Chains A and B, each alone.
Chain A
Amino acid sequence: MAGEKVQKVIPEHMIPPVASEIVERGGERYLQSNEAMFTFYKRTKGEFSKYFLGLRDEMKIWGVRCPKCGIVRVPPFQLMCPDCDFCDLKWVEMPHTGVMNSTPPITYFAHSLFQSWVPFGRGRVVLEGAGTALPVHVFTTKGVLTPFIFKKGTPVKVVFRTERFGKPTDIFAVPLAELSEAQKKKSPLMETDLDFSAPVEPKVGAATGAAKASYAKALDLLKELAVGVTKSPRAQHNLAGWTRRIAVRTSSGDFGLVIAEGRLSVTDKTPTGTPDLVMVADDPQLFVDWLTFKEALTNAIIAGKLWISLNREFTTIFKLDRLPRSVARDRG
């Protein structure tokens, strides 16, 4: 269609320009160039087509049952049962509820294809009656995904995306405990049936004397770090090509962090205009802990001590987390 934006199999923003450069190491010059290894496919889903069409068009989950041993396998990853002389399996429609096979991992540091999702959980659900576990995304409707929401045996329900492509991402699971009785009964349950309210920036509490001291200490350490970055090739490498204006609010006062041109700058006030990222912490001590290697910012977010406005800005958090160590390593 004229004017319609076409989604590309390789996002254009990921494609680097044709270029080369000389890198010097130990007095020698080495040539390196931007290259890519790519292959396009029209790949069949073959015997799995019924399953993926079930997700896309029917909003059904299909499994396969062995007529000899009786095991039901979901997803239907094979046509025959290798344990029963390769007898043919029978298609069976599965219920949409089950339990977590085990505690799912939550990814905080993802590569470019999945960076916009972090933090995300990839778990396995044993649907009622199944003898294998179905890999799915797991989400909570209650804010940032933390490691303790799902565990082995947690009852869950599979939810269908509005836009479906015949892919594993067409569905995800949420804890049954987060659903109303009507949502529990509805089949298929759609993502539009759920309430993923936009997270509201938390208010900070009243400043204590200790918090005020921590705030002053944090600012001093941050300014030291900013100077350290100017002398640290590793830290500059960490920040290369990254530009962010960050507003930080604490009980004892606000401050700003600006990342630009491989440098970090610290201001006593938050940046003017809309920041790229807002961080909120009641206790500014966590910034002191970060800068003295006691607790990474990532871990403070996981522990619920630090709130961030955008999940996708975890990438910025990772870059910040690297800085103290990079500066220390270059200092020797």
Chain B
Amino acid sequence: MERTYYGLSQMAVRDCLRDAAIGIKDVDAVVYGIYNDIFEMAAIPEHPLQGIIGMTNKPGIRVTNGGATGAYAMHCAYAWVASGLYDTVMVLGVERATDCFDFESMTETPEVIKTIGWSGDTFFERELGWTASDSYAEVVLAYMDDHPEDLKPEISAKISEILCQQAKHNPFAQRRDEVVTAEMAMNSRYVVYPFKLLEMCVYSEGAGALIFASEEKAKAIARNNGKAPIWIAGVGASNEHSVAGPDYTRHKYMGRIWSDHIAAEKAYAMAGITKPVQEIQVVELHDAFIKQLQITMGEMGFVPIGRTDALVEEGIMTPGGKVLVNPSGGLTFGGHFVGGSNIFSTWSARREMLERGFARGLIHGTGSTVSQYGVVFVLERS
């Protein structure tokens, strides 16, 4: 209510520049992550931002890739810097989902779901009632067909509780004051089977900004602001087919999230990682749905596919476990302001790496129908 996406953008840019201790004149180019034109009620929603964030007469590009918009915006910024085209690039992710309003139920949520519903295949699927939730549920249910012993209800409920507790330490978590126990999550109502209300992300509004810089510039910024730079050691991305079929190399195999698997594989190869559970200390994972979080952790090699309940049963992500997963509270408790969500995740991983001295972190983004898009970054601390 208090801010439009213009105002949210200015707030994020101001705070990002202050943290980096640079001025906007030091930034060569900007990449905007804004998912859905309909949320912002504007085609080309980034155009009014260029001037008000102080980037007049500089290059700017807008990225929109479903839920993975923020991660793909970062992917673009990385490529711009790595190619040597620009030295310092800002990524600005922003979204205002809840201006959408359903005048029948007099609530925002159904209209937000409807807006995202325009993202489904418009010829063959949308008119069947396609939603983001039922689309991801298809993947999870197909995974459960293949692995009926995994994804036990009490495990996803426990993960929801863990994320809720972790959100208490994040000043920007939008559901920081909420208390969700495993029992409450377990007993919350189904939205789309097998997804329960307290085991899924909440669409929201917000903005986040990051600075991507060349090695020389990053070191200069670090000298200036006194904070160690975080290096991008690995990048991977993959988009699957959108139509279902048994062969994942030709179509979407519904029981897996190959996009996450392939993206992680590429990022690990680039970063020289062979045992992620031993080599990565903090993961900020795009938890659109808790059960999807579990499968994605399997696809990224932290637990075996078919045994993702080990995340809790073997204490891998429970407090004090081998990997700190979503210390921000994730999108479930942090809030899912789509274009900015992966940027928010990156902010959190960087914070944990700086404050706790972790050597490596991982950022993940997922999006589009049937978890079609996957992006993974491996981060390293100096």
Task: Provide the A20-45 mask, 1 if CB < 8 A to any CB of B, else 0.
Answer: 00010110101010110100000001
Kindly state whether residue A83 has any CB partner on chain B within 8 Å.
yes
Number of interface residues of B (CB under 8 A): 55
Give Cα A131–Cα B253 distance, bound, in whole angstroms: 11
Cα distance A133–B121 in the bound complex, in angstroms:
14
Q: What's the nearest-Cβ distance from chain A to residue B230, in Å?
A: 35
Bound Cα distance A13, B38 (Å): 21
Whether A68 is near chain B, meaning CB under 8 Å from some CB there, is no
CB contacts under 8 Å to A, within B108-152, are 110-111, 113-114, 117, 121, 123-125, 127-131, 133-135, 137-138, 141-142, 144-145
- The reply to whether the CB of A75 lies closer than 8 angstroms to some CB of chain B is yes
Residues of A within 8 A of B189 (CB): 108, 296-299, 318, 321
**Chain B residues closer than 8 Å to A298, beta-carbon distance:** 189-190
Complex: A245 Cα to B117 Cα, angstroms = 31
Q: Contacting chain A: which of B19-27, B70-78, B191-199?
A: B191-199
CB B80 to nearest CB in A, in angstroms, measures: 29
- Which chain A residues lie closer than 8 Å to B144 at the CB level? 103
The contact of A30 among B2, B110, B111, B124, by CB within 8 Å, is B2
Interface centre among B101, B105, B114, B184 (most CB of A within 10 A): B105
Contacts A105-B137, A113-B114, A299-B190 given; does A293 touch B184 at CB 8 Å: yes
In the complex, which of the residues B127, B193, B247 contacts A167, with contact meaning CB atoms closer than 8 Å? B127
B187 CB contacts on chain A under 8 angstroms? 289, 293-296, 299
A111 and B138 contacting across the interface, CB-CB below 8 Å: no
Contact between chains at A112 and B145 (CB < 8 Å): no
Contact B41 A37 (CB under 8 A): yes
The interface residues of chain A lying within 8 Å CB-to-CB of B138 are 102, 104-105, 122, 124
User: Which residue of the partner chain, among B104, B127, B191, B245, contacts A109 with CB atoms under 8 Å?
Assistant: B191
- Shortest B306–chain A CB gap in Å is 15
The residues of B that contact A242 with a CB separation of less than 8 Å are 105-106
| Contact yes or no, A241 B105, CB < 8 A | yes
Query: B141's closest neighbor in chain A, by CB?
Result: A103
Does chain A have a CB within 8 A of B313? no
Contact check, B2 vs A112: say whether CB atoms are below 8 A apart: no
CB atoms of B41 and A35 under 8 A apart: yes
Interface: A315 (CB within 8 A): yes
Highest count of chain B CB atoms <10 Å: which of A14, A34, A105: A105
Q: Which residues of chain A are near B85, meaning CB under 8 Å? A: none
* B192 with A14: CB separation less than 8 A: no
Q: Please encode chain B, from 229 to 270, with 1 for each CB lying within 8 Å of some chain A CB and 0 for all others.
A: 000000000000001111100110011000000000000000
CA distance in complex: A117, B134 (Å): 14
Any B CB within 8 A of the CB of A132? yes
A204 within 8 A of B: no
B244 surroundings in chain A (CB, below 8 A): 101-102, 124, 132-133
The contact of A102 among B141, B250, B251, by CB within 8 Å, is B141
Residue picked from B2, B124, B187, B194, most chain A C-beta under 10 Å: B124
Question: Do B190 and A137 touch across chains, with their CB atoms under 8 A apart?
Answer: no
Of the candidates B1, B101, B128, B188, the one whose C-beta lies within 8 Å of that of A296 is B188
- Nearest residue (CB) in B for A145 is B193
Residue of B nearest to A315 (CB): B105
Chain A interface size, as a band, is 35 or more
Asked if B178 and A329 sit within 8 Å, CB to CB, the answer is yes
CB of A114 closer than 8 Å to a CB of B: yes
Q: Is the CB of B129 within 8 A of A110?
A: yes
Interchain CB contact under 8 A, A113 and B123: no
| Interfacial chain B residues near A240, Cβ < 8 Å | 106-107
Contact partners of B2 in chain A: CB under 8 A: 25-26, 28, 30
Which residue on chain B has the smallest CB distance to residue A23? Answer: B1
- B102 interface hit (Cβ, 8 Å): yes
B residues within 8 A CB of A275? none
Q: Let me know if A115 is at the binding interface, CB within 8 A.
A: yes
Is A223 an interface position by the 8 A CB rule? no
Are B123 and A147 touching (Cβ within 8 A)? no
B133→A112 contact, CB < 8 A: no
Contacts of A289 in B (CB 8 A): 187
Tell whether, in the assembled complex, residue B105 and residue A152 are in contact, meaning their CB atoms are under 8 Å apart.
no
Chain A 102-145 interface 0/1 with B at a Cβ cutoff of 8 Å (1 = within): 11111111111111010010101000000111011100000000
- For B123, B189, B190, B194, which residue has the most chain A Cβ atoms within 10 angstroms? B189
Contact between B111 and A111 (Cβ–Cβ < 8 Å)?
yes
Task: Find B145's partner among A111, A151, A237, A295 (CB 8 Å cutoff).
Answer: A151
Whether B190 lies near A45 (C-beta < 8 A) is no
Which B residues touch A168, using CB under 8 A? 123-125, 127-128
How many angstroms between the C-alpha atoms of A240 and B111 in the bound complex? 16
Mask for A137-178, Cβ within 8 A of B = 1, else 0?
A: 100000000010001100000000000000111000000000
Most buried by A among B1, B135, B145, B243: B243
A207 proximal to B (CB < 8 A): no
Contact (Cβ within 8 A) A122 B129: yes
User: Are A132 and B245 closer than 8 Å at their CB atoms?
Assistant: yes
Residue of A nearest to B114 (CB): A111
Say whether, besides A107-B133, A112-B110, A296 and B178 are in contact (CB < 8 Å): no
Distance between A156 CB and nearest chain B CB, rounded to angstroms: 15
Measured CA separation A45–B250 after assembly (Å): 24
- Residue A216 is within 8 A (CB to CB) of chain B in the complex: no
Apart from the given pairs A113-B117, A147-B194, A240-B106, 19 other A-B contacts in the complex at a CB distance below 8 Å: A14-B103, A34-B103, A75-B123, A102-B145, A102-B254, A107-B129, A109-B133, A110-B113, A110-B129, A112-B111, A122-B129, A122-B138, A124-B254, A132-B251, A238-B107, A294-B183, A296-B190, A299-B190, A302-B190
Pick 29 A–B contacts, CB within 8 A, sort by A: A23-B1, A25-B2, A37-B41, A71-B250, A77-B124, A102-B145, A104-B141, A105-B134, A106-B193, A107-B134, A108-B191, A109-B191, A109-B192, A111-B102, A111-B131, A112-B102, A112-B110, A124-B254, A132-B251, A136-B128, A147-B194, A152-B145, A168-B124, A242-B106, A293-B183, A294-B183, A298-B190, A299-B189, A299-B190
Q: Which 10 pairs across A and B sit closest by C-beta, in order of nearness?
A: A296-B189, A102-B142, A105-B137, A111-B114, A298-B189, A152-B145, A241-B106, A103-B141, A133-B244, A16-B103
